[in-house]
Structure 1
Amino acid sequence: MSVAVPFLLLLLAAMFASYHRMRLAYWAAMTASLLVVAWLLGANGVATIVAALIVAAIAIPLLVPQFRKPRITTPLLKFYTRLLPPLSDTERTALEAGTVGFEGELFSGKPDWDKLLSLPKPELTAEEQAFLDGPCEQLCRMTNDWDITHVRADLPPELWEFVKEHKFFGLNIPKEYGGLGFSALMNHKVIQKLASISTVVSSTVGVPNSLGPAELLMHYGTDEQKSEYLPRLADGREVPCFALTGPFAGSDATSIPDYGIVCMGDWNGANVLGFRLTLNKRYITLAPVATLIGVAFRMYDPDGLLGDKKDIGISLALVPRDTPGLDIGRRHFPLNSPFQNGPIHGKDIFVPLSQLIGGEDYAGKGWQMLMECLSIGRSITLPSTASGGAKLAAVVTGAYARIRKQFGLSVGRFEGVEEALARIAGKAYAISALSQATAAAVARGENPAVPSTIAKYHCTQMGREVVIDAMDVHGGKGIILGPRNYLGRAWQATPISITVEGANIMTRSLMIFGQGAILCHPWVMKEMKSAQLEDPVARIDQFDDALFGHIGFAFSNAVRSLWFGLTSARIGKAPGDDYTRRFYRKLDRYSAALALMADTSMLLLGGKLKFKESLSGRLGDVLSQLYICSSMLKRYEDEGRPAGDRPLLAWAFHDAINKIETALSGALRNFPIRPIGYVLWMLIFPWGRRAQAPSDQLGHRAASLLMTPCDARQRMGDGVFLAPTANNPAGRIDSYLPKVILAEPVERKFLKALKNSDIEALEFDAQLDEGVREGWITADERKQLEELRAMTLDAITVDDFEAWELRAASFDRLAGVGDSRAAA
């Protein structure tokens, strides 16, 4: 036998053991057995002995703890400690905040899909469904978005009263405190539905139920604070806001300059211990109407009234609106989406320590409190808003594209429009699945720090792309504002969602991978924590376990990446049905590639990695798309694997995989250490890139679903407000679709006969009269065509106004010309 055989067996055994993540002892025993068999079958003796010595040289030192720990682990621990980037307390708090769910599996390189598929299907209780079908539906029917956004720049009084009376501000507040006690999933469903009729209404309801006084009180408030404030927040007697950002502290909330100096002062006639608060906040949603303001500030104790620590740190307090010195400023005007938003100012406002959220025990713990609650709010409000808008845009744009005709053909039949419809359909499907997945995680009791950033970034980003395509399909219908326009305000509002709760640029380039690489990685956090232990024995023992687990993990992902690349992920065990099994295999491949890239980047770049934002952003894109695909597959399974949804799932999946390969390719081509980039490319893309954008044929199938009544289209519209009411032109257009389709054969028959006739009538009604007389159509078909014309006209008509109707009401007062409406 050839001299190469023992070394080939050694290599194959190593790859097999790495792929399956076998323990080192098992690899050594397996390799030794193979070498013995090879020797007995006539393999070259010298080669066999050399191969055996290589196995012994690796296995013996690593399998003997008394040798490994002092001679290998201890020097590596010293090197690791020097390599470990310094972390500030705020960075450490942010990294350790939250829990790890299935996203940890995606970072493992070998996802356990049973964990995903065994998660309970997200479902509402009967009480929650009744609220969604009752008060929430009624609120949508009461909402006139044009009146809110153009006429009043606010909700009308009856809407304010309705949301308070029906406890929309207390969706999550427990029943024992007068709230509704609904789940996070229900919160998602309510915001999604309200966003489909008015983003002003959805944000007004969403903010009190996400990051704000109620959420913070439920987690950290004292019993007295909960009993005093939660019932009043639940029934709307108190309207909350939370003041975090300011002119010099936007996304970098840890640098807030607002401060409170601990001192004695008067409060309700008594001299008590508190702090003098000076603040300058802006962009605070609900501030203009808020009665209870949550404030983040840095607390100082120069006189040592609380102890020896002078800089206590970021703290959170509740400040009633009527507190002397507090100034609620004038309103901001966010892009013609006039939800209540404005600045808050104050200087030397005295607030007692009893107003600290959680009391004195939580002084200085505000950043930790925010990090633990921010991800909950970020998981629901903005993703749900994007989901409501995208789902509505999908079904209504599909109906409009079928109804609207140019050159005698529905515009949705033109391939250019079809491409836009396919993008709308696929992205709306992805947004819906992603937003529901993060809400469901919160409902299960998780605190999904990494998924929340993924959902916030990608739902709002894809939501913007959906409304861009929807506007293009609608053309003039989309750009003329008025009561009939259901897209214009969404177009104007999308940058707001992109900007708030952490600007999207920062979220992508810093947060997704920055948090995920440490929080979700199976070994990195363990290594970091073990390296900081005080006990030297425990430090070495725990670091030893984590380090060699990490080394085996890295080898495994290198082998798995190469194998999946060579086989194009066509071989291997995977869950799912015959249609989706290939999808799971692809995700296995890119999970291994992500883990390999992450380990290599962290090892070679160390602390410099957090400054390589382009690399971090691209690796964050890979993690994000893996999570989005997982969410879509979970939705597909939960809904019973509906065959009708397959074009939507496939389009969104192939789009995501193409984005994964684009991100990996960009990261590898621009890897800071170029030779390492070339080696990684050969491991991940041994045959080059293979993923492609969704095909035109698949796009045609996805677009057709939006223009045809079917179960898949109905599921797309589930959870949004589509009632064909006077205040909902989008719902009316959607309701026309079945009748329009039934009338299409009659319309084609009539137009063909008209074209081949010598009738001179120019008016539509006269042409119909001639058609009945000539026998082209029956009297009933004439009524059908008249109804078709009326529905088409309602769908395509845009608004027009008198000049005075478009002027701000203050214009006439400032100009001193009196009531121009009366003059008109």
Structure 2
Amino acid sequence: MFWLLFISIGVIVIAVFGLPGLRRLVITGPVFALYKKILPMMSQTESDALEAGTVWWEGELFSGKPQWEKLLAYPAPKLTPAEQSFLDNECAELCRLTNDWEATQVHHDLSRAAWQFVKDKGFLGMIIPRHYGGLEFSAYAHSQVVQKLSTRSSAAAVSVMVPNSLGPAELLLRYGTEEQKNYYLPRLAKGLEIPAFALTNPHAGSDAAAIPDTGIVCRGEWQGQQVIGMRVTWEKRYITLGPVCTLLGLAFHLHDPDHLLGEVEDIGITCALVPSNHPGVNIGRRHWPLNAVFQNGPNSGEDVFMPLDWIIGGPQRAGQGWRMLMECLAAGRAISLPSTSTGIAKLAVRATGGYARVRSQFNLAIGKFEGVEEALTRMGGNTYLMDAARMMTAGAVDLGEHPSVASAIVKYHVTERARQVVNDAMDILGGKGICLGPGNFMGRAYQQIPIAITVEGANILTRSLIIFGQGAIRCHPYVLREMQAAQNEDARAGLRAFDAALVGHLGFAIGNALRAVWLGLTGSHFASVPKNMAPETKRYYQQLTRFSAAFAFLSDVAMLVLGGGLKRREKLSARLGDILSLMYLASATLKRYEDEGRQAADAQLVHWAIWDAMFKAQNAFEGVLANFPNKAVAWFLARIIFPLGRPYVVPADALGHDVAKCLIEPSVTRDRLTAGMYLPQNEAEAINDAVGVIELALEATRAAEPAEAKLRAAEKAGKVGAGDTANNAANNERECLHQAQQTGILTLEEAALIAHRYDLRDKVIRVDDFPSDFSVAAHD
């Protein structure tokens, strides 16, 4: 009897799920009706934001079984000969023309010579095609240029970055009319126009879709004729290059109360190009963003009449501004801030690592103290990972992707890690770091780091709302399809689409649950790995596959149990986003290692960066489980995700020691880690440059090591140094050196090496000082 009942139930289940018509009648039909009731209707701006951009590798990580061969098959980004030449010549020359201390303390901007060079050499037209007079650089080349400039001056980096990121040029290229392109793009490429894009309103902030700036379609006079145009009123702030722009890209909400354009009254967000000298445009004054001194400020206008032809793309693009902005933002965000942040991190790593080797305390280089070593380890590992994510994401843009979720990931995590790198550098530098002056290479960067955290979507918002909130819908293979089915006006077509998506969703969730348990019980040792991968990275691919399956299942359960309430539980959403992000960053690190030819000397950087990312991802899993509102479900999830406990602990101290050692010694690993940064071209330039003199001092320190060892041995043996020990340390060591040379312990050449090392070291550790009234502002 029992078996008959069991078989009957099985037959019914198979019949229901195996026959689409019966399934829709009994199961998916009622579920669909309930789903439509509880699913909030999406506004057009929400729909545009969700559908903007493309899904790339982050979608694989959401699948529960990433196709690693696909990742490794993506071509490594490379520069063309023309791009490399520009980086080596024009970009290097702009770095040479730019002195960050003078920019921040004297000019409060780039110098006139630097600005003219920027215009003349095409820096403002890197993304503009050649037939318009631009350089037509790849996204990777754009990223490389911005990174290099960031190692020298934020003013140079931002002034070049913004016109090539989200702004008039990109909007024109993608949406402009042929007339607009033919007129403006050559002028932008030649620097005859300086663009700015005005989006942020004081009363909207991060909720840019709610901007109160308005345009009213009306009739007015333009060039002596009565035409249909717009009267636009706006108030903007935080507009980069706004104070010096000649062409203002303007976002506002367009209304047509008199129906001059059609039946729709609320047309929507619209983007227009407005000459800054147009009557009624008020460019205003400047903001002062934490001594970054790039041009930034407010602008406004009241009832400014402008023709409809000024809408980007012409009148037919009216109301499409939000979609245009969302589609462009993905590419810009993937390049600009990851590049500037990585550049700052490379500056911090190379200069601070050199300083830690040159600077000694208790007769030991400070970089060899374990406390300092710990900070150097984080700096090195984070910078390797940041650069990997920057290169992979810029490469995706060159493949034709506009990765909206991946761009949010790199924007948030690369800027946050840059903040940690700079903080660690400041801790190591101590008083040298906090006293501003020409010799301080880190102080201004420390002041300016919060700017990257804030702009292009504040990091708190990006982490808590965007990465998982958008990622769960865009990257999940079924959720967006279910939402679109629910909003289908054709009820029958909507039900069929929902039924197909729901069945696929159930199979997806069950498959990931089983996969997560299996991989957890077996330690993921049987997970598939890509062919021809580096053997030393095998376990990382396997563990990432395990985490991917667990994350996909956890996400499905969280969305099922919490529904729309998950959006309001921002801390849970943020932790889920952290898991996705950290898997993306670890993936980028693995790809970089393969793309660079599996450099064995860099392996310790790879191991530390991935181990740290996986440990943090594990903690994010636990953060979700510990705070899941349904404790019974949380208990069940914990048994699925960690059936045998946590697989990761913190990276080992011995590994950290190897990473830190890479930063304080000249090596090919140190060069690869900081590749692309600007360094002085010769000794004459280096001796008067804050970073250059560290490079010289590090070389001198290494060259003098054997001779210094002889000197230390002589001191311990009492052969030198038996003089007036009350003298300061510098005088005493010079006296010891003189004695050692006079007594033949050191040759004349050895003594000269040590003296040269002392001279450069003293220049490195020197701290700038000024008159008590700071009357000398720029030079000492």
CA contact (8 A) 1:287 1:341 kept: yes
* Cα distance per residue 1:161-213 (max 9 Å; x no partner): 00000010000001111100111111000000000001111001000000111
Q: C-alpha distance in 1, partners of 2:7/2:382?
A: 55
Q: C-alpha distance in 1, partners of 2:7/2:358?
A: 75
CA contact (8 A) 1:85 1:606 kept: no
The residue that corresponds to 2:697 in the other structure is: 736
Question: Structure 1-normalised TM-score?
Answer: 0.90
Q: Which of 339, 350, 359 matches 1:404? A: 359
Secondary structure of the residue aligned to 2:535 is coil
Q: Which of 504, 520, 529 matches 2:459? A: 504
The residue that corresponds to 1:390 in the other structure is: 345
Q: Which of 715, 734, 737 matches 1:768? A: 737
Secondary structure of the residue aligned to 2:221 is strand
2:753 matched to 1:798? Answer: no
CA contact (8 A) 1:721 1:731 kept: no
Cα displacement (A) at 1:405: 0.2
Cα displacement (A) at 1:68: 2.1
Q: C-alpha distance in 2, partners of 1:257/1:584?
A: 48
Q: Which of 233, 244, 262 matches 1:307? A: 262
* Cα distance per residue 1:293-332 (max 9 Å; x no partner): 0111111111211112221111111110111111111111
Q: Which has the larger radius of gyration?
A: 1
Q: C-alpha distance in 2, partners of 1:453/1:743?
A: 47
Deviates more, 1:480-489 or 1:71-80: 71-80
* Cα distance per residue 1:538-594 (max 9 Å; x no partner): 333322221111101100111111122222223322122221010001111111111
CA contact (8 A) 2:534 2:594 kept: no
Q: Which of 601, 608, 627 matches 1:670? A: 627
Secondary structure of the residue aligned to 1:111 is coil
CA contact (8 A) 2:435 2:767 kept: yes
Secondary structure of the residue aligned to 1:549 is helix
The residue that corresponds to 2:554 in the other structure is: 597
The residue that corresponds to 2:597 in the other structure is: 640
Pair 1:720–1:808, CA change in 2 (3 A): closer
The residue that corresponds to 1:37 in the other structure is: none
Deviates more, 1:725-734 or 1:464-473: 725-734
Cα displacement (A) at 1:714: 1.1
Matches within 5 A, 1:563-712: 563-575=518-530, 576-712=533-669
**Amino acid in structure 1 at the alignment position of 2:252:** F
**Amino acid in structure 1 at the alignment position of 2:700:** K
Cα displacement (A) at 1:596: 0.9
Q: C-alpha distance in 1, partners of 2:667/2:412?
A: 31
CA contact (8 A) 2:248 2:275 kept: yes
The residue that corresponds to 2:712 in the other structure is: 751
Cα displacement (A) at 1:444: 1.0
Matches within 5 A, 1:214-253: 214-253=169-208
2:394 matched to 1:439? Answer: yes
Cα displacement (A) at 1:806: 5.1
Cα displacement (A) at 1:698: 0.8
Q: C-alpha distance in 2, partners of 1:573/1:519?
A: 26
CA contact (8 A) 2:250 2:273 kept: yes
The residue that corresponds to 1:140 in the other structure is: 95
The residue that corresponds to 2:105 in the other structure is: 150
Pair 1:467–1:60, CA change in 2 (3 A): same
* Cα distance per residue 1:112-164 (max 9 Å; x no partner): 11111110111111111111111001111111111100111011110010000
* Cα distance per residue 1:450-501 (max 9 Å; x no partner): 0110011011100000000001111111111111111001000000110011
The residue that corresponds to 2:327 in the other structure is: 372
Q: C-alpha distance in 1, partners of 2:86/2:296?
A: 28
Q: C-alpha distance in 1, partners of 2:604/2:221?
A: 67
Secondary structure of the residue aligned to 1:445 is coil
Cα displacement (A) at 1:57: 4.2
Q: C-alpha distance in 2, partners of 1:83/1:362?
A: 33
**Amino acid in structure 1 at the alignment position of 2:332:** G
Matches within 5 A, 1:1-40: none
**Amino acid in structure 2 at the alignment position of 1:781:** E
CA contact (8 A) 1:722 1:728 kept: no
Pair 1:52–1:177, CA change in 2 (3 A): same
Deviates more, 1:739-748 or 1:620-629: 739-748
Cα displacement (A) at 1:53: 5.4
CA contact (8 A) 1:426 1:652 kept: yes
* Cα distance per residue 1:228-249 (max 9 Å; x no partner): 1111111111001011112101
Q: C-alpha distance in 1, partners of 2:689/2:264?
A: 58
The residue that corresponds to 1:779 in the other structure is: 748
The residue that corresponds to 1:559 in the other structure is: 514
Q: How many residues align?
A: 766
Q: Which of 175, 199, 203 matches 2:154? A: 199
CA contact (8 A) 1:197 1:728 kept: no
CA contact (8 A) 2:62 2:476 kept: yes
Q: C-alpha distance in 2, partners of 1:144/1:709?
A: 26
Q: C-alpha distance in 2, partners of 1:461/1:551?
A: 36
Cα displacement (A) at 1:338: 1.0
Q: C-alpha distance in 2, partners of 1:533/1:265?
A: 41
2:377 matched to 1:422? Answer: yes
Matches within 5 A, 1:718-729: 718-723=675-680, 725-726=685-686, 728-729=689-690
The residue that corresponds to 1:516 in the other structure is: 471
Cα displacement (A) at 1:217: 0.5
Q: C-alpha distance in 2, partners of 1:427/1:51?
A: 56
CA contact (8 A) 1:399 1:737 kept: yes
CA contact (8 A) 2:243 2:285 kept: yes
Cα displacement (A) at 1:49: 6.9
Cα displacement (A) at 1:731: 3.0
CA contact (8 A) 1:256 1:298 kept: yes
Q: C-alpha distance in 1, partners of 2:387/2:580?
A: 18
Question: Structure 2-normalised TM-score?
Answer: 0.95
Cα displacement (A) at 1:791: 1.7
Q: C-alpha distance in 2, partners of 1:129/1:165?
A: 18
Deviates more, 1:709-718 or 1:73-82: 73-82
Matches within 5 A, 1:153-302: 153-302=108-257
2:296 matched to 1:334? Answer: no
Q: C-alpha distance in 2, partners of 1:345/1:572?
A: 58
* Cα distance per residue 1:71-125 (max 9 Å; x no partner): 2222222222223233222111111111011110000011111111110111111
* Cα distance per residue 1:210-268 (max 9 Å; x no partner): 01111111110000100111111111110010111121011000111111111122333
Cα displacement (A) at 1:737: 2.4
- Pairwise CA RMSD: 1.8
**Amino acid in structure 1 at the alignment position of 2:719:** S
CA contact (8 A) 1:723 1:732 kept: no
Q: C-alpha distance in 1, partners of 2:125/2:436?
A: 33
Pair 1:52–1:117, CA change in 2 (3 A): farther
Deviates more, 1:580-589 or 1:56-65: 56-65
Q: C-alpha distance in 1, partners of 2:641/2:5?
A: 31
The residue that corresponds to 2:503 in the other structure is: 548
Pair 1:807–1:796, CA change in 2 (3 A): closer
Secondary structure of the residue aligned to 2:680 is coil
2:32 matched to 1:77? Answer: yes
The unaligned stretches of length 5 or more in structure 1 are: 1-45, 810-820
The unaligned stretches of length 5 or more in structure 2 are: none
CA contact (8 A) 2:76 2:392 kept: no
Superposition misfits of 4+ residues, deviation over 6 angstroms: 46-51
Deviates more, 1:182-191 or 1:304-313: 304-313
Q: C-alpha distance in 1, partners of 2:661/2:9?
A: 61
**Amino acid in structure 2 at the alignment position of 1:757:** K
